[in-house]
Amino acid sequence: MHPTLEPIHQRVLDRNPGETEFHQAVHEVLESIGPAVDKHPEYAEARIVERICEPERQIIFRVPWEDDDGDIHINRGFRVEFNSALGPFKGGLRFHPTVLLGTVKFLGFEQIFKNALTGLPIGGGKGGSDFDPRGRSDREIMRFCQSFMTELYRHLGEYTDVPAGDMGVGGRELGYLFGQYKRITNRYESGVLTGKALAFGGAQVRREATGYGSAFFARRALEVRGDSLEGKDVVVSGSGNVALYTVEKVHQLGGRVVAVSDSDGVVHDPQGVDLELLKDIKEVRRERLRVYTDKIGRAEFSTDRSIWDVPCQVALPSATQNELDADGARALLRSGCRFVGEGANMPTTPDGVEVLREGGVIFAPGKAANAGGVAASALEMQQNASRDSWSFEYSENRLSEIMTDIHDRCHATAEEYGRPGDYVAGANIAGYARVADAMLALGLV
Ligand code: GLU
């Protein structure tokens, strides 16, 4: 780490005790922006790094709700409004029992740089709750979302803070959240949430965008090296929204996804996973992945096998943070994997990244590779602001161009700062410089 960043880093650790995921995300960025520190003394003078590491505002609130049996539950809600130099705070909401303040801060911090890389006018934020949606009825989900929004609405606005989905929050939840926002504020303010269903102001391709974008990034990274996804065996961890639409686009681009997973285990289907069946299981029936083998006898479901042991040339970790560790990375190296692109946020541990780097694997960090989701959200905001809606084809082309631009910017920045091929350095420096320039221009705020 650049010597001037070390005390800043230490102060972040001391002031945010126990927030290990936030520490990890900050460390990764500070470690790689050293070359920008040397080139831009004006950033240090304005204390840009110190300011970026401190959220503009953090909101923590009680979310009481009643289940179908009349029992009362109390959850905790969060919204961390990290940085609004480039536009309104923008980032998803995660509903998962493991969510702590440090989780939301890690995600919000990553979001600042990711959103900057899209080149679109969006700041960074994130929110969520430790609510566990698993096994809850529609009515319970609705009551929870209504209670959550009853506090959160006062902090939101299309020019202030614009949440979207993340793990545990999709079209259904955003519908209930938007319904309650509209009811409380008496405003049909479409641009206050993104990832909405098409029935009420949503945009084409938003649902597909994170997964499609991750596949587009992989395509471009291989293309600049004279290679492609054509004929490649691909492993996609997870089976949520990101994973499903990654599978769809990888198949359309000629690759074959041979394994997917959920927190119970791994499906290995050497002939290529059946996407329609996966969508039916996960999106329609909302069931666990293990039922896949009821229909597809050739596939195996395993609870003790790591997905990274399935041989592949391309791996796209698309489930959750820290799911690909050094052992997993070594297994990928053994099977000849050439490219790893993070569909999820921070799915690779620092040791895992090190192993991949030393093994010469091309590694695309989430803030670049999975930026397609939030980029499509910014396009949704644009359509909402102009009361327009674009076709699927036009929207997908825009997304594809944005992903190519993000790739090329990271690639060129890495070269410019003497780290050729290092997408982590390229993404962090390019994202950081865009936010830093805006912060300088806005004065000490
Ligand atoms: N949760 C997504 C992400 O990690 C999307 C955020 C958004 O669309 O605002 O980038």
Rounded CA separation 222/216 (Å) = 10
DSSP 8-state assignment for residue 6: H
**Alpha carbon of 111 to ligand 1 centroid (Å):** 8
Do the beta carbons of residue 268 and residue 262 sit within 8 Å? Answer: no
Q: Report CA(91)–ligand 1 centroid distance (Å).
A: 5
Helix axes 101-117, 372-385, angle to 10 degrees: 70
pTM: 0.97
Per residue in 272-319, pLDDT (tens digit) is 999 999 999 999 999 999 999 999 999 999 999 999 999 999 999 999
Give yes or no for a contact between 262 and 289, defined as CB atoms under 8 angstroms apart.
yes
* Confidence (pLDDT) at 164: 98
For this structure, is 232 an active site residue? no
Structural domains of the chain, ranges and CATH numbers in brackets: 47-188 (3.40.50.10860), 209-360 (3.40.50.720)
Kindly report the backbone phi and psi dihedral angles of residue 346, in degrees, each rounded to the nearest multiple of 5, phi listed first. Answer: 55, 45
Q: Which pLDDT belongs to residue 142?
A: 98
Using CA atoms, how far apart are residues 307 and 310, in angstroms rounded to an integer?
6
Give the pLDDT score at 52: 98
146 CA distance to ligand 1 middle (Å): 21
Taking the CA atoms of the chain, what radius of gyration do you get in angstroms?
A: 21
Residue ranges lining ligand 1, Cβ < 6 Å: 90-92, 164, 166, 194-195, 345, 373-374, 377
The amino acid occupying position 258 is V
| pLDDT in the model for residue 122 | 98
Token pair recorded at residue 273 = 């996973």
Tally of helices (H runs) and strands (E runs) in the chain: 18, 12
Say which of 126, 196, 232, 249 is annotated catalytic: 126
How confident is the model at residue 225, as a pLDDT?
Answer: 98
With a cut of 50, list the residues of the chain below it in pLDDT.
none
Greatest CA separation for the chain:
63
Residue 119, phi-psi category: left (phi > 0), alpha (psi -120 to 50), beta (remainder): left
